[in-house]
Structure 1
Amino acid sequence: FRYDSGMRNPRFFLTGTLATAGLLALSACGDVPRSDDSPESNTQRAQAIVETFANSYNEAGLSDAVEQTFCPGDADGWSGRQSLDDSAYSAGSMTVSTPASVEGHRGQAGVQVTPAERSAQHYELSLRKDKTQGWCISGVTPAAGGSGGLKDQ
């Protein structure tokens, strides 16, 4: 009896190597969450979108913030506006009041706008994980108990 490592016929070695690599790749698929889809990662990415929204609003107004952070198709009704309630825009007036929280591929957060000489207005941001864009804002509504603003259309 003589041991043959398969090196005499490289096709067998190559086929075996490719089959093993294929099985390993397939075993990585399935219901196991990928590292980029973990709850912690989703929360961090959703929070980054909320912060980008607030920063963009503070620097350039609502139109710029919507363009940078809204989900495809969800920006309708917001384009061309400079503020959430159509009042005069006040740079630097938005802060994140409630950090992003996510469940699966949906989430929410809160922002507060305090324009000059007016009381704070609170808004809820609806978030979702879009297949092409990643985390994005899908809507803005006045927070319960908060003052004024327009609902998304």
Structure 2
Amino acid sequence: MHFTPGQLRSTIGISTETYRHWRRVLPDFSGRRGYAPCFSTGDLLAAGILKRLTEECGVRIGFLKSISEEIVRLCNASSWTALENAFLHIDMPSGQCRIVKSGAVPTGSSAAILCELDPILIQLRDTLLMTQPGDNQFPLRFPLASVKPRARSGRRRA
């Protein structure tokens, strides 16, 4: 399933101006233009992570330029179910990031950001499920009744 830039913006909750800025700054967003669906579910997760890092951690999007490609690659490499109960570990001095499970949080970095993925996944799932079309089957306006088949009586006459 692929999403348009407008669907990406509305799903993760960013403004048009923010998306345009990201498109100018981040290499993974710069080549995707127009109205055609071009974002995968992994791209939605990566954008959700970038939004969380900018809004909740106060990291400027320009600073994330160097690691945004790695974040997008990691998010597209695994399914959402494989990323449950996981964290994105960003080692700031080296500029490297990796996905780690909750019990295997690495130590030894002088400065690191640990971003829990579950809240982002839950928010994305909830938003996507709310936008899915409803059931197209309408309820019956009359009660169900049992119908007996007619007995066949020989050949039909023309």
Structure with higher helix content: 2
Scaled by the length of structure 1, what TM-score is found? Answer: 0.24
Structure with higher strand content: 1
Scaled by the length of structure 2, what TM-score is found? Answer: 0.23
